[in-house]
Structure 1
Amino acid sequence: MPIVVNKEEKRRSIALASKSLLLEHGIKNITISKIAECAGVGKGTIYEYFSNKEDIVFEIISVFISEHEKRLYELIDEDISTKEKIKRSLSLLYSDPYYEKQLSIYREFLAISLTSNVDEMIEFSRACREKFLTILAQIIDDAVIKGEIKTEAKDLVGMLHTYSIGMVVESKVDCIDAKMHIDQFVEAFFTLIQKKDIR
């Protein structure tokens, strides 16, 4: 009886086996051969599950995004202030060496997607944006319901996300201390949105 392979599971297992390779070498410096070797499969097997290198990179970045999403949803459930949740959600990528490597890959991905005009990359970026907007909106909505912040704060969720993307670029270009900058930003942000009777 032939062995039935779940295509999505196999794609994911190749991506999981290859993520350290991507973190170490970056998008431009990995090859199908290196990915196949790292995943312990032949090059032909790679092409059974992926159409090209970019397709593999999407899958690996999807793994990173799933990990990041999981951490953010865990953050939502923590018994900490809304201000602290926003600070942590914005500074998570700057919190340890593993995330900083992911951040480097994300910067490279952004640079390629902004200059290549590949529809799949643009659509992938949009889908990622929607995931993170949903999480930020949940944090803000919960705080509005609890009466901690003004209802108008809901209109600023997109701006919070835009700030976070800007910080990805600025922290590299200007070598600024992202965590300190995020702390200052969130303090100023909460000065505007926090209800005055809440401390």
Structure 2
Amino acid sequence: MAIIVNKEEKRRNIALSCRALLLEHGIGELTISQIAKTAGVGKGTIYEYFENKEDIVFEIMQTFIVEHEKRLEEISRSEMSTKEKLFHFFYLLFENETARKHLGIYKEFLAISLMQETKAMLDFSEACRERFLFILNNILEAGVRSGELNAQMSGSAGSLVLFATGVIVDSRLKTCDVKQEIDHLLDIIIVKECK
């Protein structure tokens, strides 16, 4: 009797088994041989499920993004003040060692996508941006309703995502204090603090 393999599940399992490998080596140093060995499959099997290394990286990054998005949604739905929600929205990628490792992979992905601008990378970035805009917009709308934010902040999610992207890019500089930059922005946009 033939064994029926769920291709999507197998693909996801291969990618998930390589998460730590990606965090350890980064995108540039990751090889198909390492991926195959870590996943416990042959190199040929890798190519049955993925077109290339970038395809695997996209799959792994998608798991990181889903986890990040879940955490942002939890923050959005929490009882925290708008200021606290916005702080965590912007600081989440810097808050601990695991988050900083994920951020390192994202920076590497961002650098590659800026240089190559392949359709798949642009589509992936656009999809991520849309999901984060949705969550941020919910935080902003709730802040406007509570009076913590000026009504003009309702349409500012895109500008704030650009701020977040800039913080991510500049965080590599010794002169950029991420926490201080976020606090400064929040001091400007919060009109009333709620406890």
Unaligned runs of 5+ in 1: none
Bigger mean CA offset, 61-70 vs 150-159: 150-159
TM, length-normalised to structure 2:
0.94
**Alignment coverage as a number of residue pairs:** 195
1:8 alignment counterpart: 8
Deviation sequence 1:14-67 (CA, Å, 0-9, x none): 111101011010101001110111111111111111000000010011011011
Cross-structure match for 2:122:
122
Which residue in 2 is equivalent to 1:104?
Answer: 104
Within 1, Cα distance between the matches of 2:29 and 2:170? Answer: 24
SS in 2 for 1:176: coil
Q: After the TM superposition, which residues 49-88 of structure 1 pair with which residues of structure 2 at under 5 Å, given as runs?
A: 49-88=49-88
Amino acid corresponding to residue 181 of structure 2 in structure 1: H
* % identical aligned pairs: 50
Aligned-CA RMSD value: 1.6
Q: Could you tell me how far apart the structure 2 residues matched to 1:198 and 1:129 are?
A: 28
**AA paired with 1:180?**
Q
SS in 1 for 2:27: coil
Structure 1 window deviating more from structure 2 (169-178 vs 118-127): it is: 169-178
SS of 2:29's equivalent in the other structure is coil
Q: How does 1:5-44 map to 2 (within 5 A)?
A: 5-44=5-44
CA drift of 1:175 comes to 4.7
**Superposition deviation, residue 174 in structure 1:** 4.2
Segments of structure 2 that go 5 or more residues without pairing to the other structure are none
Structure 2 equivalent of residue 158 of structure 1 = 158
SS at match of 1:60: helix
CA distance in 2, matches of 1:144, 1:86: 13
Deviation at 1:198, TM superposition (A): 6.4
Contact 2:149 2:189 (8 Å CA) reproduced = no
Deviation per residue, 1:123-150 (Å, 9 max, x gap): 1111111111011011111222334323
Please give the alpha-carbon distance, in whole angstroms, between the structure 1 residues aligned to 2:92 and 2:40. Answer: 32
Q: Is contact 2:150-2:189 (8 Å) kept?
A: no
Give TM-score, length-normalised by structure 1: 0.92
